[in-house]
Amino acid sequence: MKVKKKIYAVSVILFFLVTFVISVYSVSKDNFFNKTNNYPNKIFMKPDIVFDGWNEYDGTLTSVFDPQIILNGADCYVHSVRISGSSNFTDEKIRIFYTEKEGEYFSPEKTRLLDYNIINGGMYIYPDMYVYSLRLDITEEANVDLTLKNVELNDNSIVFSFTGLVMQCLFPTILFAAVLGLIIFGSALSSYVQVFKKFIPLLQNLISRDLKVKYRRSVLGFLWSILNPLLMALVLNIVFSKLFRFQVEYFATYYLTGALMFNFVIECTTGSMMSVISAAPLIKKVYIPKYLFPMQKCAFAFINMLFSSVAVVVVMLIQGVPFHAHILLFIVPMLYALVFAYGMGLILAAMTVFFRDIEHLYSVWTTIWMYLTPIIYPEELLQSSGLAVITKLNPMYYYVHSLRNVVMYGTFPSAIENIMCITFAIVSLALGLCLFKKVQDKFILYI
């Protein structure tokens, strides 16, 4: 078995490294070789244009004077600069001024004459140097006729596309690992399944107990699963759509779909975190697979979420949100999130046994996580604030966005979005199972 594990681990690691190199190379190759910028450059910005004798007519900038294109705050190693647009240059060089630090002025001491190339109507020059700011002077003799669209900086470095890494590296590696695992460990996995089947009745009893305990001695009982999100939607609809005036159509439904998904994941992970410690009396008496306790909390949260989803339907009816057939697919992003949350729950449950402070730290993290996820504000707000990279790294963004697509907008999530959701879910589950299995035998010493 040890030999099989080593073969499996080495094979998966090698496959990951090969696909990683391919995924990075595919978005970086033009930076190093072709210089045609077929892929998004690492730095992209609109230039400041100084109208020194330029005349604007129908979007075309024409002049026989000395126009300048200034890029402030580039602050990077600039390999090439691409100016899009049609042009007709008659001189052989372009004069550039540059600065190397903030607050420095353009000066004659820091100027260079550079050759340029015209490729597909775009002008390319290659400073191949570090600059903070850059000024291009197109000389009087150039007789310029330039339709300026944008200026791109290509810094001749490796470009990491997070979506590309997932699509071309992580997801193929997951599929490869799953197929190879079934081939190598198929018989061992079947024995785990047989053991799990024996404990299904116990799992059902534990979930039933949680459902009864949560609403015990409550007059309305399970109705609180519907009333609580409805009341929160009412309050936040008044606060955010009226006072802060967020321009979000059907704000109450928008909020509820995001909150439903986010609260579901948080309930799964928070419940799983203390599940092993809470089950200490049972664990000390009889043998029970310990992964059942985080699973119990996630299954309970899933059932509770199904009750709460009724509130979304009620608000949609009140607001007149159109119903689409795709709404029946709401279970798909929820299942993605369930797998993701169970993986996280396993990690938190294992770590909390040894470090009880995680219980308090996690509550702080969930608050930060909530504000980094577009639940109470428009999704475009993160993009406009320059925090787009956080969106790409935040699993909850994809789960929330997928749920809104099927519930509010009547569209099924794209293939890329589905792959992102599946990848986050499987990576979380794999890490959780590995960590939990490795340390579970030590739980008895700490609970």
Share the mean pLDDT of the chain: 75
82-93 per-residue burial string, b: 16 or more CB within 10 A, e: under 16 = bbbbebebeeee
pLDDT one-digit tens code per residue, 404-432: 889 888 888 888 888 889 999 999 999 99
pLDDT digits (tens, 9 = 90+) for 104-124: 777 777 887 777 776 666 677
C-alpha 76 chain-centroid distance:
26
Residue 226, φ and ψ in degrees, nearest 5: -95, -45
Token pair listed for 357:
């402070």
For 80-98, what is each residue's pLDDT tens digit?
676 655 455 555 567 777 8
User: What pLDDT is attached to residue 334?
Assistant: 93
For residues 22-44, give the mean pLDDT. 56
Name the amino acid, one letter, at 138: I
Residue 154: what pLDDT?
A: 55
Instruction: Give the model's confidence band at 196: pLDDT under 50 very low, under 70 low, under 90 confident, else very high.
Output: confident
Q: Which of 234-243, 291-300, 309-318 has the highest mean pLDDT?
A: 291-300
pLDDT at 40: 42
pLDDT score recorded for residue 22: 84
Name 239's Cβ contacts closer than 8 Å, sequence gap at least 6.
Answer: none
Q: What pLDDT does 330 receive?
A: 86
- pLDDT at residue 146, as a whole number: 47
- Out of 2.60.420, 3.30.360, 2.60.120, 1.10.3470, the CATH code matching 43-154 is 2.60.120
Q: Which of 222, 232, 295, 221 is nearest to 263 (CA)?
A: 232
Q: Classify residue 102 as exposed, middle or buried by CB count within 10 Å of its CB (0-12, 13-18, 19+).
A: exposed
Instruction: List, for residues 212-238, the tens digit of each pLDDT value.
Output: 777 666 656 666 667 666 677 677 666
Sequence ranges of the domains in the chain: 1-39+164-186, 43-154, 199-445
Best-predicted range by mean pLDDT among 67-76, 240-249, 319-328?
319-328
Cα–Cα distance, 381 to 385 (Å, whole number): 6
Q: Model confidence at 160, in pLDDT bands (50, 70, 90)? A: low
Q: Which two tokens stand for residue 254?
A: 């928008």
Q: List, as one string, the DSSP characters of 8-26.
A: HHHHHHHHHHHHHHHHHHH
SS3 207: helix
Q: In whole angstroms, what is the distance from residue 204 CA to residue 106 CA? A: 73
Let me know: does 94 contact 113? Beta carbons within 8 Å: yes
pLDDT reported for residue 58: 35
Q: Of 25-29, 146-150, 369-373, which gets the smallest average pLDDT? A: 146-150
